[in-house]
Structure 1
């Protein structure tokens, strides 16, 4: 191994014998320096380990913590707590008026964000007001389980606030989410031929009407002449 190394240094790199000896001496000196450094590092580490006394440092730490607590106690005395003269309402006692609540009131409910609150208000306006809690389930994306869970919180308030005046509305005004176009067309044709419809009983006698649709729509109908 050593003759090959010498051959490589002398004939491949073109080094003289003196230069080769210098390289060897340099490598030896570097190795000695690294060895001395390692020995010194080891001695320093051993001295540190010998100096470290866990019990002594634990006592110092506990003393510092006690002084810190005393200093904080002087700087930040305990606050004065007064007896409250009011009691917060229970969570179950809080109600929401389905027909009078704004978007902020809806957002206060668990699981309702601004987008959902806007969707509920839009659907309420299209209906003309809620007349029962189950109508919340008809809002697009509404979870039926959520409605049942918070059913006790809902109040109808004024209920339906806008009704369809079946004897007065023009064609373009006769619109409602519960009223299909075909049923609206049939009724308006009947009204055009027979005149005013007095009440829901008379309306139910119209043969071509789907009474399942009109029963659902009944809370929103007004028969004023």
Structure 2
């Protein structure tokens, strides 16, 4: 029994030794392969660093040498778009803006403004509401204060529409109030307070009022159309 046990132990140790040697060779081969791969990668990266960087002209020359790419679908869509463009009704710019010629901007309602190019129902109502808060437009540049109305559209309106400044409803200096001035888009808190202080107990004419405003350092030219020396309105007036 002792001999049999010794033989078995010897075979087991021999088996383990063989497996260890096999695993050792396998690990050595993997390490060598990894080392070779790492060296090749390092050499490749080093060769890339030595290459000159391509310029834009090099890339363009390379792109010109590429063969053309055929695309039947692209050619079909191009022909279809050209066909639609050929049959699209031609509308002259003058025809589109015909309704704007002679339109009085201080009288036009939202329906008339909505019919103009680039002005939808929302923007048309916004213009009318802002005009009411302004008590009428005194100059074309006032339109730039309307949110959403760009300068190009204002230029189109300026060359076709009219603006009667006689339709502006100015404040009567004799009946000015701080709240009414501050509610106007042309006045802020400081500007309204300055005008009220300049009026004081009264002025003989607008020139005197303007001299006081200039002396106080708060005179603004855009205020002139909205200030008038008139009798205060009656109970039913503005």
TM-score, with structure 2 as normaliser? 0.50
Cα distance, 1:184 vs structure 2: 1.5
- How is 1:90-109 mapped onto 2 (pairs within 5 angstroms)? 94=99, 95=101, 96-109=103-116
| Aligned-residue offset at 1:90 | 5.8
Distance 2:167 2:149 in 1: 21
Q: CA deviation at 1:173?
A: 2.5
Residue aligned with 1:155, SS: coil
Structure 1, unaligned stretches of length 5 or more? 1-88
Q: Is the 8 A contact 1:160 1:220 kept in 2?
A: no
Question: Among 178, 182, 187, which residue is 1:179 paired with?
Answer: 187
Matched, 1:126 2:133: yes
Residues 51-85 of structure 1: per-residue CA shift (max 9 Å, x gap): xxxxxxxxxxxxxxxxxxxxxxxxxxxxxxxxxxx
Distance 2:177 2:153 in 1: 39
Q: CA deviation at 1:99?
A: 0.9
2:106 and 2:164 in contact (8 A); partners too: yes
Q: Is the Cα contact below 8 Å between 1:99 and 1:159 reproduced in 2? A: no
Q: Specify which of 186, 189, 199 is matched with residue 197 of structure 2.
A: 189
- d(CA) in 1 for partners of 2:107 and 2:230? 26
Structure 1 match to 2:225: 219
What RMSD, in angstroms, separates the aligned Cα atoms of the two structures?
Answer: 2.3
Q: Is the 8 A contact 1:107 1:117 kept in 2?
A: yes
Preserved contact between residue 186 and residue 209 of structure 1 (Cα < 8 Å): no
1:203 corresponds in structure 2 to 209
For this pair of structures, how many residues does the alignment match?
133
Provide the residue aligned with 1:77 in structure 2.
none
What does the per-residue CA deviation read over 1:138-186, in whole Å, with 9 as the maximum and x for residues that have no partner? 2112110121134222112464331111221233333321112112112
Q: Any unmatched runs of 5+ in structure 2?
A: 1-93, 232-238
Indicate which of 169, 174, 177 corresponds to 1:167. Answer: 174
Runs of 4+ in structure 1 deviating by more than 4 angstroms, as ranges, are 89-93
Q: How far 1:93 sits from its partner (Å)?
A: 5.1
2:154 alignment partner in structure 1? 147
- Superposed displacement of residue 92, structure 1: 5.6
How far has the Cα of 1:123 moved from its partner?
1.0
The question of whether the paired residues in 2 share the 8 Å contact of 1:97 and 1:157 is answered with yes
CA drift of 1:107 comes to 0.5
Secondary structure in structure 2 of the residue aligned to 1:167: helix
Q: Secondary structure at the match of 2:113?
A: helix
